Amino acid sequence: MSHLARSTGTSEESPLFSNGFILRLSAVVAMLAMLMLGISIGGRWIGRHITLAGNSDNTAIVTITIGRDTLDLPENVIRFPSQRHGGAAERADVYLTWPELQGYTKEHRERFDDVSQSANLIFLQITQSTMSRDMSGRVELIYKHVMEGAAVPYGNGLTLHNLKAEAGYGGEVLLTAPRAKEATYAVRCILASASLSPTSGDCQRDIKVGKDLSVLYRFSSRHLHDWDHIDAAIRGFVEARLVTRSATPR
């Protein structure tokens, strides 16, 4: 009896859960809490990036060197995520709203996300120049020899020249305009028929900027009436972001 009593008393006085079990339970609870926190933070991060769909609304400056030129570009004007880092690069792809010349913002996100509104964007490809002349300089050198038919007035000071398909310009036309103090303006376009709407990049032109940059920009033919303002704005945008390095002190 006394032995049984002692055994019963010991059983009644033993804790319901051992210290080891409590420690293991606490560790599991802590891990679950951390997991839930990670899911919450990760969910917000994933949701934000799905909403941005590859775009960035960050305006932090990215310094990119292309050939002999260096540019300070806001991150939200750089089109591709793989290019949004500083250092040497072969090219920079940029997109801008027209006429604001802004990168991706929440205010204008429809233009970037909705294909039907993308005609209000201008696309730039900035590379080191590989040709001695830009498009204006190639009018007399190249394009003059691949024109066919009579030139016709197009409006807004532009003249339309059809280009030979057999020369590799199928469906393209060259639009030119004389300028008083600059070389002849020239832009190549694939003009939509009356039954089709202009696309976001059916006109393209390239210009030289900086020491050795070639800036090829594409825009919708619906903005051809604004050709002179677009050309000046694109040149001004790139020139304003060129980094001028001071001479090394002797």
Given this model, what pLDDT does residue 194 score?
Answer: 58
Give the model confidence (pLDDT) of 73-94 as tens digits. 999 999 999 999 999 999 999 9
The two three-digit tokens of residue 180, written as one number: 């008083």
Give the model confidence (pLDDT) of 171-198 as tens digits. 999 999 999 999 999 999 999 875 567 7
Q: What average pLDDT score do residues 67-76 get? A: 98
CB burial of residue 125 (10 Å; 0-12, 13-18, 19+)? middle
Query: Do 128 and 214 form a contact (C-beta atoms < 8 A)?
Result: yes
The two three-digit tokens of residue 187, written as one number: 């832009």
Give the model confidence (pLDDT) of 152-168 as tens digits. 999 999 999 999 999 99
Does an H or E element contain 127, and which? strand 121-128
| Domain boundaries of the chain, sorted by first residue | 2-52, 61-240
The two three-digit tokens of residue 69, written as one number: 């030129």
CB burial of residue 166 (10 Å; 0-12, 13-18, 19+)? exposed
Whole-angstrom distance, CA of residue 212 vs CA of residue 232? 18
